[in-house]
């Protein structure tokens, strides 16, 4: 067994297990961060968060996986009971009204305008990357989920982290 791999894989494509692993890892780091412990947990009322679409920076076509990723992040945040999360369909509707295309790269001025319309204090944004390596008869992919929490009012990064997952198969 190779200790660098998280688990044996049927394929190196990003799947639901991978997304669950990445989101759970990120959320546990977020919840133990100073930002969460001192900013979120001590807030008079739970702050409102909105999730900007996460960018697919892999070479794979991941539409279904990206929807699952967004839903997983949204569900995990709601279930902390420490924040209120803007429903994504409401966010998409308002974004269209002010001319923001979903999937656009995070733009602070558009985000601030949308954030105010949503009543949100923070945006989650980020990307997922994949590094694909082929060696002899082995193919290995390392996925990285990089997320950050941005304060809408001033664009300051309040928390950011990256969680990695490595998969490999023999070809």
The Cα 12–Cα 3 span in angstroms is 17
Instruction: Spell out the alpha helix ranges (H) of 79-137.
Output: 88-97, 108-118
- Stated pTM of the model: 0.83
The mean pLDDT value for 82-88 works out to 92
The mean pLDDT value for 73-102 works out to 85
Predicted confidence (pLDDT) per residue in 39-58, tens digit? 999 988 999 999 887 888 98
pLDDT of res. 132: 87
Q: Which residue has the higher pLDDT, 108 or 148?
A: 148
- Looking at the chain, the whole-number percentage of residues with pLDDT higher than 90 is 46
pLDDT of res. 90: 81
The Cα 41–Cα 10 span in angstroms is 40
Q: Which residue has the higher pLDDT, 32 or 97?
A: 32
Q: Which residue has the higher pLDDT, 103 or 125?
A: 125
Contact 104, 125 (CB under 8 A): no
pLDDT of res. 1: 47
| Orientation of helix 16-31 relative to helix 63-78, angle to 10° | 30
Contact 94, 60 (CB under 8 A): no
160 bridge partner residues: 148
Confidence of residue 11 (pLDDT cuts 50, 70, 90): confident
For residue 93, pLDDT over 70 is answered with yes
Instruction: Using alpha carbons, list the distances in angstroms from residue 98 to 113, 132, 153, 158.
Output: 8, 38, 18, 26
Confidence of residue 35 (pLDDT cuts 50, 70, 90): very high
């Amino acid at each position: 067994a190779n200790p660098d791999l998280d688990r044996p894989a049927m394929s190196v494509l990003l799947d639901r297990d991978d997304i669950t692993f990445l989101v759970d890892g990120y959320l546990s780091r977020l919840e133990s961060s100073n930002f969460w412990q001192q900013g979120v947990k001590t807030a008079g009322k739970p702050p409102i968060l909105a999730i900007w679409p996460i960018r697919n920076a892999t070479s794979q076509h991941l539409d279904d996986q990206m929807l699952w990723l967004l839903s997983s992040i949204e569900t995990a945040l709601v279930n902390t009971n420490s924040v209120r999360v803007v429903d994504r369909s409401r966010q998409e509707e308002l974004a269209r009204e002010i001319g923001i295309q979903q999937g656009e790269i995070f733009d602070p001025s558009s985000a601030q305008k949308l954030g105010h319309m949503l009543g949100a204090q923070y945006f989650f944004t980020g990307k997922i990357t994949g590094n694909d390596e082929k060696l002899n008869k082995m193919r290995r992919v390392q996925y990285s989920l990089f997320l950050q929490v941005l304060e809408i009012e001033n664009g300051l990064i309040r928390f950011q982290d990256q969680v990695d997952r490595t998969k490999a198969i023999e070809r």
